Structure 1
Amino acid sequence: MKKKFMRTKLAIALMSAVLLASCSSNADPLASEVPAQTVSAGEVETVADNSTATTVSKTASERVTYSEEDLDSSWEDIEHSTITLNGTSAAIEGTGAVVDGNQVTIALPGVYVVSGKLIEGQIIVDLESEGTVKLVLNGAEIHNAEGSAIYSKQAGKTIISLQEGTQNIVSDGDSYASTGEDDPTAAIFSEDDLTINGAGSLTVEGNYNDGISGKDDVMVAGGNITVHAADDGLVGRDMLAIKEATITVEADGDGLKSTNDTDASKGYIVIEGGVFDLKAGNDGIQAETELLISGGEYSIVTGGGSANGAVKAEENGPGARGVQQTAAVETSTAAESESAKGLKAAADITISGGTFTIDSADDSIHSNNSLVIAAGKMSITSGDDGIHADASIAITGGTTDISKSYEGIESMLITISGGETHVVASDDGINVGGGNDQSSVNGRAGENTFSTTGDSGLHLDGGYVTVDSTGDGLDSNGSIYMTGGTVTVNGPTGNNNGALDYDGAFEISGGLLIAAGSAGMAQAPSEQSTQPSILMQYSSTQAAGTIVSVKDSAGKEIATFAPAKEYQTFVVSSPDLKQDGKYTLYSGGTSTGTETNGLYSDGVYQGGSEIVSATPASSVTYLNESGVTTGTTNGGMGGGRRTRG
């Protein structure tokens, strides 16, 4: 994006006058660099075969480097020029800048300290050759009704440093004099690299289009920045990198954005930390390629919040047999091109730290490829999917709490191996999709089409997972594999869905699984499992909160659980269940143990009624009040069994 521009006669004269100065250290006092600091966010590549899924980490150090000049906001001990704004004009003390009416033009690399108020005018950085300009805002207010208030037209890099203890304001008008394709579109606009640092405050009013926008790399390494924008808040075309800043954005478009869609190696966002309060009409944070977050505190509201999400009917209508046979009905009138996601990337998302509160009209976290959550704390309320990725999702750590969603977690391949994951969904809780799943790249129906072939599957290898769903609890149009962790499901009350729903197999070899739900489409794990399971079907619906306890012949509790909703089937699988052991199922009563999401631990169950006793002779045992029974096959859908009342 390096361009040559015609100089004004005044600028040429100025250049000639200071030619010798340009050869001195004052020509570019910011040119030297120290070894770069690198971000700590990680990229994670998901690799899968037909029975397991693992993650391979690689660092993001090649993505972003912060030089000394990016991080250094000092200027007092550096030779500098001062620009004092005086209403409709300015006074310059020092070299390198000129004033022409209400326009200040910086023509040489160097440090420029700006203070005062320019009620109608512009500061332009327009260098003859590449260099670095540090523009120190030291209590400055700049307004330009007809274009960008600060415009870096030609420079290797422009650094805006916010002097500690100062308030600075930059604003534009709601219409520009020049609106060509290559003309500026933001209150602060840079054709080249742009860095913002310092400990002061900056308020940007982007009344025409964007608040802050750069056509190359944009870095924010400090400051308290508030942006109000008619479209996007903060945009870096090739890259947006942020560390340890406080950023507040109210934007009719996207909050934070990187836009390069022509180069796969660009268009990414890397955030190391900071405090973010983002309210966006469209996406909160949107990367054209990758989004890497390793820390920070985030409050994100998009599209007016989850209350404005598309209204959808239940995906599986009456008589459906565990597959997505009917399209969900949407009553939203929003255009298909609109997107109001919390975090969004067209390629990959990696979250390795941070605290997130996301209230989104659309998906809260959405990747068009893969998504990894390795650490952090997330509180999600979504008008569509809580977490969605087209290719794969891997949750290896952190705490994820999805308190409202249409479908909670959805992808072709989902692996959960650590952390805590809590899901509340009005349709499926955790869904390995097949067919037309009604979620989409833009958050509207009918756009994502998942294949039922390939490496689709749900892998539960560790961690703590709870699901509360109106539709299927754990739903895989492929298979489910469980090797460890604790999973509890409060499944559907309607008979057209099941707490467990899979088309291939459900092989369980470890961990604690509890699933309660309706009877019409109920499934247990597959018989090829190496860890035993029991499916109990009651003759009538049990009231919500009625405890189920399973004990062995010595009185040891295998599991004690109080379903949150009414239920007619109960599935349990535990390493403590053994074939040829004798087990008794109790109902009602109380427990002195500690209750967490319905699961009791470290206590004594007492006062319940003995319902049935059985000795499992195979990996899956089906029970009713009369004892061991047999389940009929699930209608040719493969793998497991569905019970019949």
Structure 2
Amino acid sequence: EETAAISSVDTSLLLSDEDDIANVTFSESASLNLSTGTFTTSNQSITLSSETKSDGSIYYTIDTASVSSGVKVTLTGSLEKGSVEIVPKKESDIQIALADAHITSGNYAALTVSKVARTFLTLTGSNSLTDGRTYGTGYSKAEGTDYYSASYTGSTEDAELTQKWAEGDDTKATLYTKGSLLISGSGSLTVSENYKHGIYSKDYIRIFSGNVSVENGGRSAIRSANGFILTDGTVTINGTATNAQHPNDNSRGIIVEGSEDSGAGKGYIYISGGTVNIKSTGKAISAKWELEEDAETETTDDDPNPVVMICGGTVNVTTTDVVIDSDMNPQTISYYDADGVLVSETSSCSPEGIEGKTGVIISGGTVSVQSTDDALNASLDENGFVNIFGGNIYLYATSADAIDSNGDINISGGNIVALAPMGSEDGFDCDGGLSFTGGNAVGLSGSTHAYASEQNTSCTQTTFVIESSYAASAGNTIVIKDADGSTVFAFTIPQNINSYGIITISSSSLQKGKTYTVYKASQISGGENFYGLYTSMPSVTDASSTGSITTSSEKSVYTLGEFNSFGGGPGAPDRNAFENGSGRPFGGTPPSDRGPRR
């Protein structure tokens, strides 16, 4: 299957006013007090059944399948060891109102919607769902069905050997819905799990309001097949399982899988408001469908669009695990997965901050990423892209690149600080073209790879690439002044960066046909800055000049010092084209001496 990048997302596929609960009517209702088991309903066709499972847990089933109209189910009280399954009419609307409700499950998911229905989850007060299942266990309704232990002597047809079997179910999340999951309300929900995923939708997840927290000791905190949308509200994720504890399967943040079955053009992550706070050991935010590897059909018409798009809100990400690059040093390992099944495969750990397999688009909001692997990553060969039109963006990769695109990087707006001070890593790393047409950006690289070279024709905004010896050291400030002595650019090198190779600077304040002097400044005062990048200039009281650059109308990229020049690319995409879905990024010439890709 040939691959082609889609350089925008079709928001109409997943964003609809009909998904706002204010526009939906629920004419029937039921309520269950989890503490007492008291059940009331407006319609006798809505039924409650309960069963005590072999693990001692109480399993409640609320069946609304015979009711055609929308049903609101309210849960209150506490269930110390049990589960709730809601069985709606297929393709209907179901509201689950959590009102100070708390469920701790046994060997089953805490809350399940078991038929494809649009699920509206509303939050009032403080609510919690805690999964009693543990990683490395094969749960099934009977041994020999799905899973069996080594001591089992019965029939094992179509079942897998697990290191530990238990009666229960292997539903993949603490909160699981077969249809879309739409969250709103003034309250909070805390999900805690140490098994697979915290929240999972077999369709898409959209959060309108409310506070959602996931304590994730399993695989993914929030995961869906077709998409994740944050309109408002707060999402807080804490992932604790390391790669050493769960090899190749450490705790991730927000993951969208993508699906050819139902997700043509979907599979993306779209954040337009609200707040996301993620601390994870694995990938924090990922639209993960591999166009090159996951395609199962010959046509591209059913392909998902694995893009992360941020146009508002606040996103704070930290990843912590050790990077294991399967390309540089491939090693086969054996380990037990979440179901306790022995797996042998190549060892890998990629704790990237924000990953869109096809691309990452940022046009607004505030983004802060501190990661061990790439902070922003687009891995689709040649056609991948990172496009930044606006926003305030801080990226710090301790063991990899700040921005890594296997295709192009296009920056036309925003304030961008991209730091990658380690070894051969880069602030801006691309196999295609690096284009600056607007914005204020600084990229600090451990390497001396100048992706913006003097031959670069895709940059229209004046860009300087400066060797570190001409710039500034840790805690000091690189200052650029014009011929009148006015400061037009300033960036303070972080205190913890003791060495680096080059610094790439692009700013709308750097004009053509001017002469600029570069200074190392140890004393500055005043001004306003975003992670050291000054948005209003400081006063400089102690500085020494290191060199000068004279610009002209003939080119946009200028260098000071000695390093490897890699840049290229025939041009940059048009912002309007990206917004209406018709734009495509452009390719370029990759560097010839690059090492293996991440």
- Give the TM-score range, shorter chain: 0.5 to 0.7
Match of 2:87? 190
Match of 2:589? 638
Amino acid across the alignment from 2:318: T
Match of 2:432? 504
TM superposition shift of 1:533: 2.2
CA distance in 2, matches of 1:540, 1:381: 31
2:110 is aligned, of 198, 211, 216, to: 211
Query: Is 1:429–2:378 an aligned residue pair?
Result: no
C-alpha contact (below 8 Å) 1:560/1:605 kept by paired residues = no
When residues 339 and 54 of structure 1 are mapped into structure 2, their CA distance, relative to the original with a 3 A threshold, is same
When residues 479 and 67 of structure 1 are mapped into structure 2, their CA distance, relative to the original with a 3 A threshold, is closer
Q: Work out which of the two has the higher radius of gyration on C-alpha atoms and give 1 or 2.
A: 1
C-alpha contact (below 8 Å) 2:129/2:191 kept by paired residues = yes
Task: String of CA shifts for 1:555-612, please: whole Å, max 9, x gaps.
Answer: 1212111111233433322233334321111113322233431123243223211222
Say which SS state the counterpart of residue 413 (structure 2) adopts. coil
1:517 is aligned, of 437, 440, 445, to: 445
CA distance in 2, matches of 1:474, 1:116: 51
Q: Number of aligned residue pairs: give it.
A: 454
1:252 is aligned, of 186, 190, 194, to: 194
Question: Relative contact order (alpha carbons < 8 A, sep ≥ 6): 1 or 2 greater?
Answer: 2
1:486 is aligned, of 415, 418, 431, to: 415
Task: String of CA shifts for 1:187-231, please: whole Å, max 9, x gaps.
Answer: 445364784556743222321311121212343334443322224
CA distance in 1, matches of 2:193, 2:222: 11
CA distance in 2, matches of 1:459, 1:270: 24
* Equivalences for residues 74-113 of structure 1 within 5 A: none
**Greater displacement, 607-616 / 594-603:** 594-603
Say which SS state the counterpart of residue 243 (structure 1) adopts. strand
CA distance in 2, matches of 1:610, 1:67: 63
CA distance in 2, matches of 1:113, 1:569: 63
C-alpha contact (below 8 Å) 1:498/1:523 kept by paired residues = no
CA RMSD, Structure 1 to Structure 2 (Å): 4.0
1:458 is aligned, of 370, 386, 399, to: 386
1:615 is aligned, of 534, 547, 550, to: 550
CA distance in 2, matches of 1:67, 1:539: 61
When residues 474 and 207 of structure 1 are mapped into structure 2, their CA distance, relative to the original with a 3 A threshold, is closer
CA distance in 2, matches of 1:365, 1:492: 23
2:531 is aligned, of 579, 590, 597, to: 597
When residues 385 and 558 of structure 1 are mapped into structure 2, their CA distance, relative to the original with a 3 A threshold, is farther
Match of 1:548? 478
When residues 70 and 132 of structure 1 are mapped into structure 2, their CA distance, relative to the original with a 3 A threshold, is farther
Task: String of CA shifts for 1:103-152, please: whole Å, max 9, x gaps.
Answer: xxxxxxxx68879846xxx9899x9xx975388xxxxxx88355754223
When residues 72 and 545 of structure 1 are mapped into structure 2, their CA distance, relative to the original with a 3 A threshold, is farther
Query: Is 1:348–2:268 an aligned residue pair?
Result: yes
CA distance in 1, matches of 2:268, 2:182: 16
CA distance in 1, matches of 2:193, 2:251: 12
Query: Is 1:150–2:60 an aligned residue pair?
Result: yes
CA distance in 2, matches of 1:234, 1:579: 57
C-alpha contact (below 8 Å) 2:97/2:121 kept by paired residues = no
Say which SS state the counterpart of residue 560 (structure 1) adopts. strand
* Equivalences for residues 212-611 of structure 1 within 5 A: 212-216=111-115, 217=117, 218-223=119-124, 224-231=126-133, 232-244=173-185, 245-253=187-195, 254-259=197-202, 267-280=203-216, 281-302=218-239, 304=240, 308-310=241-243, 332=244, 334-336=246-248, 338=249, 340-346=251-257, 347-368=267-288, 369-383=306-320, 406-411=351-356, 412-433=358-379, 450=380, 452-453=381-382, 455-470=383-398, 471-494=400-423, 496-518=424-446, 520-525=448-453, 526-528=455-457, 529-539=459-469, 543-564=473-494, 565=497, 566-594=499-527, 595-600=529-534, 601-611=536-546
C-alpha contact (below 8 Å) 2:524/2:541 kept by paired residues = yes
C-alpha contact (below 8 Å) 2:478/2:521 kept by paired residues = yes
CA distance in 1, matches of 2:220, 2:178: 16
CA distance in 2, matches of 1:534, 1:511: 14
When residues 203 and 270 of structure 1 are mapped into structure 2, their CA distance, relative to the original with a 3 A threshold, is same
C-alpha contact (below 8 Å) 1:534/1:620 kept by paired residues = yes
C-alpha contact (below 8 Å) 2:120/2:181 kept by paired residues = yes
When residues 71 and 493 of structure 1 are mapped into structure 2, their CA distance, relative to the original with a 3 A threshold, is farther
Task: String of CA shifts for 1:252-294, please: whole Å, max 9, x gaps.
Answer: 33222224xxxxxxx3333322222322323222223233332
TM superposition shift of 1:153: 4.8
Task: String of CA shifts for 1:394-439, please: whole Å, max 9, x gaps.
Answer: xxxxxxxxxxx94333333222222222232334333332xxxxxx
Amino acid across the alignment from 1:156: S
Query: Is 1:161–2:86 an aligned residue pair?
Result: no
Match of 1:170? 79
When residues 606 and 505 of structure 1 are mapped into structure 2, their CA distance, relative to the original with a 3 A threshold, is same
When residues 342 and 477 of structure 1 are mapped into structure 2, their CA distance, relative to the original with a 3 A threshold, is closer
Q: TM-score with structure 2 length normalisation?
A: 0.65
C-alpha contact (below 8 Å) 1:202/1:226 kept by paired residues = yes
Amino acid across the alignment from 1:343: I
Q: TM-score with structure 1 length normalisation?
A: 0.61
CA distance in 1, matches of 2:35, 2:402: 61
Match of 1:4? none
Amino acid across the alignment from 2:460: T
C-alpha contact (below 8 Å) 1:287/1:345 kept by paired residues = yes
CA distance in 2, matches of 1:374, 1:299: 19
When residues 543 and 292 of structure 1 are mapped into structure 2, their CA distance, relative to the original with a 3 A threshold, is closer
